[in-house]
Homo-oligomer: A and B are copies of this chain.
Amino acid sequence: MTRRLASFSFAKRVPSTPSIGSTTVTKPDHIHLSFGFAAPHLFPIDQLSVSAAEAVTLHGRKALQYSGSGGPGKILKWIQNRSLVHGINAELNQILVTYGSTQGIDLATRILVDPGDHVWVESPSFFSALQAFRTAEAVITSFPIDEDGVRVDLIENALLEAKRNHKPIPKLVYTMPTYHNPGGVTLSVEKRKRLAELAETYNFYILEDDAYSELNFTGNKYPPLYTLIPERVIYLNTFSKIIGPGLRLGWLIADQHVIDKVRLLNLGGSIGVFTQEILAQLLENFAFQGHVDSLSRHYRKQRDVMAEAIKESFGEHVSFHLPEGGFYIWLRFDDHVNTSEFLQDAANRGVSFVDGKSFFVKPEGYQYARLCFSYVSEEQIVRGVKILADTYFAYLNNPVPS
- What string of 1s and 0s marks CB contacts (under 8 Å) between A44-67 and chain B? 010011101101110011111110
- Is B12's CB under 8 angstroms from A114's CB? yes
Once the chains are docked, how many angstroms separate the CA of A20 from the CA of B41?
A: 45
- Is B128's CB under 8 angstroms from A231's CB? no
Asked if A245 is at the interface (CB within 8 A of a chain B CB), the reply is yes
For residue A89, give the distance in angstroms from its CB to the closest CB of chain B: 11
The stretch that binds B, out of A104-112, A293-301, A309-317, A359-367, is A104-112
Residues of chain B lying within 8 A (CB to CB) of residue A265: 14-15, 131, 135
- Is B3's CB under 8 angstroms from A231's CB? yes
Interface centre among A110, A266, A269 (most CB of B within 10 A): A266
- Is A57's CB under 8 angstroms from B65's CB? no
The residue from B1, B49, B240, B263 contacting A56, defined by CB atoms under 8 A apart: B49
Asked if A115 is at the interface (CB within 8 A of a chain B CB), the reply is yes
So how many copies of this chain end up in the complex? 2
Closest to A244 in B: B64
Closest to A40 in B: B61
For residue A244, give the distance in angstroms from its CB to the closest CB of chain B: 3
With A43-B61, A99-B99 as known contacts, state yes or no: A274 contacts B248, CB within 8 Å. Answer: yes
- Is B66's CB under 8 angstroms from A246's CB? yes
Residues of A258-293 contacting chain B, CB below 8 A: 261, 263-275, 277-278
For residue A402, give the distance in angstroms from its CB to the closest CB of chain B: 28
- What is the total number of residues of chain A having a CB less than 8 Å from a CB of chain B? 84
Residues of A214-272 contacting chain B, CB below 8 A: 229-232, 240, 243-248, 261, 263-272
With A10-B112, A40-B64 as known contacts, state yes or no: A267 contacts B102, CB within 8 Å. Answer: yes
- Is B103's CB under 8 angstroms from A268's CB? yes
Once the chains are docked, how many angstroms separate the CA of A111 from the CA of B11?
A: 5
With A3-B231, A18-B263 as known contacts, state yes or no: A53 contacts B49, CB within 8 Å. Answer: yes
Closest to A12 in B: B114
Once the chains are docked, how many angstroms separate the CA of A270 from the CA of B63?
A: 22
- Is A40's CB under 8 angstroms from B62's CB? yes
Once the chains are docked, how many angstroms separate the CA of A6 from the CA of B169?
A: 13
